Amino acid sequence: ISVIIIAILIHYSQIQYLSVEHPKVTYYNPKYLRYANLTTIRYGRSNPIYYVGLNLDLVVPFDSSIYIDVYFYELLTGQYKRSFIEMHFNWCHLVEKDMFFGAAMRTAGLTKPCPHGPGPINLQNMTVNPNAIPSGFPFTRGRIIANFTHPKTKTRVGDGFIDMKLAYVDKKHAKNLFFK
């Protein structure tokens, strides 16, 4: 019984967060984007969080005609296997209403209503809110792949990925770590 109590105390004294590393934009269409860059940065050893930066320079406005498909892959025996977790939304829904990735984008400064652009969009210090991560997330290590498309013209706009793992930080050290 004491082992169960210790496990419960450890669980409630820590915050589960999404740690991300190794971002890569694998393609962007120059008819839609002048450039696209995805980065991660960590602000010292005492801060375990990697913050994401997204820099885009839009050639055309991004509105509800741009669709984003997000797929989660689980790392199993050294290979990424597609999981059942997927998210699909248009650009405006992602930026204005989504509580997982969209909330991080809004916190990083993308608060102007849709449509966005043309022009640069520079979002820095993005993290997924730990409260948005469902308890019992089915795996701890994987890759998040995002595909941007324009379905009406059947055009690929861009895509990329970022490696992820679920990690924990003590609640007493978590102040000011998320959403800098």
Q: Which CATH number goes with the domain that contains 137?
A: 2.70.220
- How far is it, in rounded angstroms, from Cα 41 to Cα 4? 37
Tell me if 19 is assigned to some domain.
yes
Give a yes or no: residue 128 inside a domain. Answer: yes
Evaluate whether 144 touches 62 at the Cβ level (below 8 Å). no
* Number of domains within the chain: 1
Residue 159 falls within a domain, yes or no? Answer: yes
Alpha carbon 77 to chain centroid, angstroms? 24
DSSP 6: H
Distance CA 78, CA 75 (A): 6
Look at residue 180 and tell me if it is in a domain.
Answer: no
Instruction: Give me the average pLDDT of each 10-residue run along the chain (180 residues).
Output: 46 75 95 94 83 93 93 93 93 92 90 90 89 84 94 93 87 56
- Gap between the Cα atoms of 105 and 95, Å rounded: 7
Q: Report residue 44 as tokens.
A: 């010292």
Residue 179 lies in a domain: no
Q: Measured between alpha carbons, how far is 51 from 146 in angstroms, rounded to an integer?
A: 17
The boundaries of the domain holding residue 156 are: 2-173
- 166 lies in some domain: yes
In a domain, 133, yes or no: yes
pLDDT of residue 59: 94
Give domain status of residue 10, yes or no. Answer: yes
Q: What is the pLDDT of residue 12?
A: 55
